[in-house]
Amino acid sequence: MDVPAEEMPAVAAASHAVIRAAKAAGVYVFAGGINAGVAPERVAADGGRTGTTYPQTARFDGGFCVLELPSRDAAVQWAARLAAACRCDQELREFHYDPES
């Protein structure tokens, strides 16, 4: 997302409108932004911690929106709505269903 600071209120309003629509449609699970003020860290199985993260995710920022949808086509439609609201492309991923979760 590369939006001038003065346009961020409009982007926030537009993206919040999409989230409200997802809630009204009954497809919303959760959403939120990454807190840029808290550095990521890796935690090992023994509890050891590093002050680093994986190189491929070092510049990750933004947020997540998780929706429960009936099809990939529906997911593409919602992602397009979020892309228009946020003024940037959205990466679409699918969670693997785990019956134990």
What pLDDT score was predicted for residue 75? 97
Mean pLDDT of the chain: 91
| DSSP character string of 31-99 | EEE--TTS---EE-TTS-EES---GGGTT--SEEEEE--S-HHHHHHHHHHHHHHHTS------PPP-T
What pLDDT score was predicted for residue 14? 97
What pLDDT score was predicted for residue 40? 84
What pLDDT score was predicted for residue 43? 92
Could you read off the pLDDT of 32-69 as tens digits, one per residue? 988 888 888 899 999 999 878 888 877 777 789 999 99
What pLDDT score was predicted for residue 19? 97
Q: Which helix (H) or strand (E) holds 28?
A: strand 28-33
- Can you give the pTM of this predicted structure? 0.82
